[in-house]
Amino acid sequence: MRIDLHTHSNRSDGTDPVDVLLAQAERAGLDVIALTDHDTADGWADGRRAAEELGIGFVPGIEISCKLNGISVHLLGYLPDPSYPELAEELRIVRDGRTDRIPSIVARLNGLGVPLTVDEVLAQATGTPSVGRPHVADALVANGTVANRSEAFDRFLADGKPGHVSHYAIDPGRAIDLVRAAGGVPVIAHPWGRSSYKVITADTIARLVDDHGLAGIEVDHQDHSPESRTTLRGIARELGIIYTGSSDHHGVGKIDHELGVNSTEPEQFERLLEVAKANAAASEAKVPEVYLP
Ligand code: AMP
Ligand code: ZN
Ligand code: FE
Ligand code: FE
């Protein structure tokens, strides 16, 4: 059983349509894939349809933009009801904030002498309700300013660089509450990745488990060193929560994140499905189903 629980399509900032992503997952020999686009469930129906055609397992999920003490944190929500009113409303505010910041990013880049328009950015984000920095990067590639997304982030868009403007994001405790209220399973994405390591300490993880019912943490992720993975797995075991592994695949938008590069142990996936069942039963929300062929 090979299980990849974190991937992106072009419904957010991945580069492949959902059906292409699913076909690639099947070809890569994966048995189960979760689609976890940023702040949107738009790709779920296409994902489910493609999964049934291909005979590959499909878990609908969302990667929710959170912020703790001003630092970006990502929360994976598996199998929540995306139309659960309070969750839907928060996600709408996040997506609006994503779009609303684009003019500020463009103005900052223009201030540095970089030619770019808002329309050029939006042209890279057609079909997605969730515009992100990677789309700004794609626009910079398209107009010849940089060679690829990496160069755009390194020079302009990474946290702390001049073209980085943050957007509204949800407090992680509240996001966990909302995912559970919507019948889903909350798992912190890459807790010791690029920025979140600053705020997601072992103590914070324990607090989110105790006070909010955090169900798990992503451990095997390309942003984590071997040492971090060992330590994080130890933290998960000590707290009795689930640990997962994933590629965080973005199509050709992120190098070294090939489908299946990390995976989730079947035993951990079984636990996740059990928590999903329990959280769904405790909620009045209308949760989606896992598809397992
Ligand atoms: P945002 O749209 O601001 O939420 O940006 C988050 C997206 O940008 C995620 O897909 C990240 O993986 C990607 N990202 C953030 N920092 C970098 C970086 N330094 N290099 C490449 N991609 C990045
Ligand atoms: Zn992304
Ligand atoms: Fe993330
Ligand atoms: Fe991601």
Supply the mean pLDDT for the chain. 97
Mutate which of 153, 156, 224, 247 for ligand 1 pocket (most atoms within 8 A of beta carbon): 153
pLDDT one-digit tens code per residue, 73-127: 999 999 999 999 999 999 999 999 999 999 999 999 999 999 999 999 999 999 8
Q: Whose CA is nearest to atom 5 of ligand 1?
A: 133
CA angle 118, 103, 251 (to 5 degrees): 60
**pLDDT band at residue 57 under the 50/70/90 scheme:** very high
Ligand 1 atom at minimum distance from 250 CA: 10
Scanning 143-256, the segments in alpha helix (DSSP H) are 149-152, 172-181, 202-212, 226-239
Mutate which of 8, 11, 13, 96 for ligand 1 pocket (most atoms within 8 A of beta carbon): 13
pLDDT one-digit tens code per residue, 159-200: 999 999 999 999 999 999 999 999 999 999 999 998 999 999
How far lies 279's CA from each of 80, 129, 146, 212, in Å? 9, 28, 45, 13
Structural domains of the chain, ranges and CATH numbers in brackets? 3-94+168-282 (3.20.20.140), 102-157 (1.10.150.650)
Q: How far apart are CA 250 and CA 127, in angstroms?
A: 16
pLDDT at 137: 98
Ligand that comes closest to the CA of residue 247: 4
The single residue listed with the structure tokens 């798990």 is 216
pLDDT at 184: 98
Name residue 3's beta-bridge partners: 32
49: how many CB neighbours lie within 10 A of its CB? Answer: 15
The binding-site residues of ligand 1, defined as CB within 6 angstroms of any ligand atom, are 13, 65, 132-134, 149-150, 153, 158, 194
- Name which of 272, 244, 248 is nearest 258 in CA terms: 248
